[in-house]
Amino acid sequence: MTIVACSLMLIGILIYVFYPERHVESQTQKTRLEYLRERKEVLYDNLRDLNFEYRAGKYVEEDYAAQQGILETEAAEVVAEIDLLEAQPR
Amino acid sequence: MPTFGSFSLLLALALSGYTLLAGAVALRQLATGARARVTPEKLAETARRAGIGSFVATTAAAFALVWAAFNNDFSVAYILHHSNRALPGPYKFAALWSGQEGSLLLWAWLLAAYGFVLRLRHKVDVKLTAYASTILAGIQVFFLLLLNFAAMPFSLVGGTVPQDGFGLNPLLQYPEMVIHPPMLYLGYVGFAVPFAFALGALMMRYPGEKWIHITRRWTMVTWLFLTCGIFLGAHWAYSVLGWGGYWGWDPVENASLMPWLTGTAFLHSVMMQEKRGMMKTWNVWLIFSTFMLAIFGTLLTRSGLVSSVHAFAQSSIGSWFWAFLIIVLSVCLFTFILQRDHLKADNKLESLVSRESSFLFNNLVLLAACFTVLWGTLFPVLSEYVQGNRVTVGAPFYNRVAVPIGLFLLFLTGIGPLLAWRSSSFKSIRKNFVLPCIAGLVAAVVVIVCGVHPWEIFTTDGQGSFYAFFAFVLAAMVVTAISAEFLRGAGVISRHTGQGLLASMVQLTRRNTRRYGGYIVHFGVVVIFIGIAGSAFNQSKEQELGFKESLNIGPYRLECQSYSQDSNANYDTEFALLDVYRGGKKITQLAPEKRFYIASQQPSTMVANHSTLAWDLYVIYAGKNPDTGQPIIKVFLNPLVAWIWIGVAIIVFGTGVALFPNMTAALAASRNRVQSAAVADALPARGGD
C-alpha cells in the first residue's frame, strides 16, 4: 500500500513537471517605456493625493502651490519622454 | 505512514533542488542569451512546476505526521514523545508543531504553500516571479535538508513500541496553542516572500518600484500573521504561565518581536520608495534584515542558545541555522555590492519637517527598539563569552529603554499623517496641530484628576505613573489626529456627493483602503498602548482561603465556596470555587485550578479570569498549605488588559481594510480622460495616500 501511494505520487508529479507544454510565458525585461508609464501613474496619484488633502483643508495655499508645481513639472517631463519613445519606430 | 512521510520529504527535497538549479540555469541563460537545447522559458516552466510539486510532496509529509498522531502510531519517535492516547483531538493536531521536527516540518510546509501561491500567480510578472521562485526554492532546500538529515520527523522507535506516548507538554495544552504557533510561523515564513522578491528585483536590476506594489499584500498579510501570532502568544502566556503578566521579555518572545519591528519599519518606509523613489538601499536591507531576524528567531527557539520558557524545542541543530544565516548574509551582501548603483535614490530628503522625515524617524526608532531587544536577548550569551558567567537581562532593562521608545513611536504615529510630503510650512503645522494639542491638554487634565500624577516620579518610584500619563495624553492626541483625518476627508466627499458624514467616511475608506486601513491600524495601536499603560497600576494579593473565608482586592471580594480535586484520563486536578462579589452583589464564580498531567508527569496552572473593560480579576490556584490542606489563592487586579486584545482586533480589521482593493472603477474611467499632468487637478478626489 505504501509503495503504491509513493509510486502514484512520484509518477503524478513527474508527469506534471515534465509534461511538454506548448505555450510557455516569455520572460521579457521591462522596457523604459513601461517603467515611465508606471512612474506617470505614481505621479498622477501623488497629484490626486495633494489635491485631495488641499481640498480637505490640510495645507495652506503656498505649500499646495509649491508642491503642485514640483509634481506637475516632474509629470510633464515623464509624459514628454513617453511621447518621445512612443513616437519612435519599433 | 512513516515510510510514506519520509519518501514525501525526500521527494520534496529533490523537487525543490530541481526548482533551484533549473530555475537558476534558466535565469542565467536568459541573462546571458546563451543557446541551449531546451529553451530557458521551458526550463523555467519545469522549475516552476517542480516548485508546485514540492508543495504537494511536503503536504503529503505533513499529512502523514498528523495521521500518525491521530492513529496513535507510537512507532514514530516524534509521536511517542509529543502525544498520548488520551490527548484531545485538537492537541493531537497541534502535536505537529509541538516539537523540533514537527515545527520544522510546519515551517517547510508553510514555505511550500507560500511558494505554491506565488508560482500560481506567476503571470503578475513572469521574470520577477521566476527569480523569487528560485530564491524561495533555495530556502526550501535548506529546511528540507534539515528534515531529511538532521531533524527527521519520521524516525522510528528502536525495540518494542510502547503502548502509550509520553504526552504533550502541559503548557501547550491550551486552545491558543493550537493557533499561536502556526500564526507565528506564517509570519516568520511569510517574510521569505518579500525577501525573495527584493533580492530577485536587485539581482535582475528591476526597473522601477513595481516589485513593491506586487509584494505589498504579501508583506501586509505576513505582518498581520506575525502580529496575531505575537499577541496570541502574549494571551497564552497571560492565561497559562500564571504570573499575572502577558509579556515577560523572554528570549523567544523577543525573537518574534525583532522581525516584527523591522517588518513594521519596512511597511512604512516602502511608501517613500513607492511615492518618491527614496530609501531604496534602506528598504532592501530592511527586508533582508527582517528575513534574517526571522531565521535568527527560529535559531533562538531551536538551538538552546538562550534560556527560555519555550525550552521544549531545544536541540543541536543550531549549527545548521548559523551556516544558513551566513550563506543568506553572504548572498545578500554580494548581490548588494554588485548591484548597489541600481539603488540610487531618485529624490533627496528636502526638509526635516515633512512626512518623509517622520517615516525616517519612525524607522530609526523601530530599529533602535529592535537593537535594544537584540542586545538584551544576546547579552547573557555575550557576557558568558567575555566574563565566563552568564548575566541575565530582566524586564527592568527592557522597560527602561523600550517604554520611552514606544511612547516616541506613539507620538510619531500621531504627527506623521499631519505633515506634508517634501516639506511642511509653519502655517500648515499650526493649522493641523491645534486640535490634537487641545485634545492632549484636555486628556492631561482628566488623567491628573483621575489620580495619575506624573510628578510622582520625583517623589517616589513612580516611573509607571509618569509613563502612563504620557501614554494617555499621546493616545488622546493621536486619536484626535486620526479622527480629524477621517472627518476632513469625509467632508470633501460629502460636499462632492451630498452624502452624510458616515456614508462619506465609508466611501473615503473604500477609495483609499491602504491609507484609511492604515489609520485604523494606528487606532488599534493606540488602544493597545492604553492597555499597556494600565499595567502601571497593577495590584496583587496572596492568601490562604478556607471554606467561606474571603479576600478583598480593589472593588472585589472573593469568597471560597469549596475546594476539591478531580481526575480524568489526561490529568489530575485541584481547584477552588470562588464567588466574586462587587458592591455586595455576586457577579460571577471563578474556578482556578492546578493540573497534573499523567502522561508527561508535569503540572500546569489554569488561571481563572474575570475580564472587564476596566480591569481583569486574575486568579491563580497557587497550591495547597500542607498543614491545613487549604488552597493558597493569588489574585491580581490588572487594569485595562482587555484593551490590548481589543486593540489587536482593531489592527486585524484595519489590515483587512488595507488589503481590500480600492474602489477604482470610477478612477479608471477618469484616468482615460487624462492627457497630461496639468489636468490631474480636475480628477475626482481619491482620498490621498
Closest of B154, B167, B160 to residue B1, by C-alpha:
B154
Q: Please name the member of A52, A56, A63 whose beta carbon is closest to the beta carbon of B420.
A: A63
Q: Write down the residue that cell numbers 475546594 correspond to.
A: B563
pLDDT at B143 (0 to 100): 95
Residue B201 lies in a domain: yes
pLDDT at B461 (0 to 100): 64
Are B186 and B149 contained in the same domain? no
Are B579 and B447 contained in the same domain? no
pLDDT at residue B673 above 60? no
pLDDT at residue B688 above 50? no
Residue B657 lies in a domain: no
| Residues B432 and B438: beta-carbon distance below 8 Å | no
Q: pLDDT tens digit string along B155-204?
A: 898 888 888 888 887 777 777 777 888 888 899 999 999 999 999 999 98
Are B183 and B308 contained in the same domain? yes
Mean residue pLDDT across chain B: 87
Q: Does B429 touch chain A (CB under 8 A)?
A: no
Q: Among B365, B394, B415, identify where a domain stops.
A: B415
Strands (DSSP E) found in B250-367: none
The string over B398-413, giving b where at least 16 C-beta atoms fall within 10 Å of a residue's C-beta and e elsewhere, is bbebbbebbbbbbbbb
Contact A9 B60 (CB under 8 A): yes
pLDDT at residue B212 above 90? no
Q: Torsions phi, psi of B104, nearest 5?
A: -70, -35
pLDDT at B349 (0 to 100): 79
Which residues of chain A are modeled with pLDDT < 70? 27, 90
pLDDT at B310 (0 to 100): 57
pLDDT at B674 (0 to 100): 47
Are B299 and B378 contained in the same domain? yes
| Residues B233 and B184: beta-carbon distance below 8 Å | yes
Residue B517 lies in a domain: no
Q: pLDDT tens digit string along B47-101?
A: 999 999 999 999 999 999 999 999 998 999 999 988 888 888 888 888 888 888 8
pLDDT at B60 (0 to 100): 95
Are B614 and B498 contained in the same domain? no
User: Measured between CA atoms, how close is A81 to chain B, in angstroms?
Assistant: 12
Q: pLDDT tens digit string along B236-285?
A: 888 888 788 888 888 888 889 999 999 999 999 988 888 888 888 999 99
User: Measured between CA atoms, how close is B250 to chain A, in angstroms?
Assistant: 43
Are B407 and B439 contained in the same domain? no
Q: pLDDT tens digit string along B290-308?
A: 999 999 988 887 766 666 5
Interface of B with A in 178-207 (CB under 8 A): 204, 206-207
List residues bridging with B259 in a β-sheet.
Answer: none
Are B187 and B212 contained in the same domain? yes
The count of structural domains within chain B is 4
Question: Cβ neighbours of residue B495 under 8 Å, at least 6 residues apart?
Answer: none
Residue B526 lies in a domain: no
Q: Among B137, B168, B199, identify where a domain stops.
A: B168
Are B489 and B633 contained in the same domain? no
pLDDT at residue B542 above 80? yes
Domain ranges in chain A are 30-90
Residue B497 lies in a domain: yes
pLDDT at residue B113 above 70? yes
User: Measured between CA atoms, how close is A65 to chain B, in angstroms?
Assistant: 12
Are B3 and B141 contained in the same domain? yes
Q: Among B386, B415, B444, identify where a domain stops.
A: B415
Q: pLDDT tens digit string along B439-454?
A: 999 999 999 998 887 7
In A, minimum Cα distance to B423 occurs at A63
For residue B651, the surrounding DSSP H or E stretch is helix B641-659
Kindly tell me the number of DSSP H helices and DSSP E strands found in chain B: 21, 10
Are B282 and B300 contained in the same domain? yes
* CA dist., res. B486 & res. B421, Å (int): 18
pLDDT at residue B681 above 70? no
What average pLDDT does this structure show over B307-315? 56
What average pLDDT does this structure show over B543-556? 90
Range of the domain at B485: 425-512+662-682
Residue B496 lies in a domain: yes
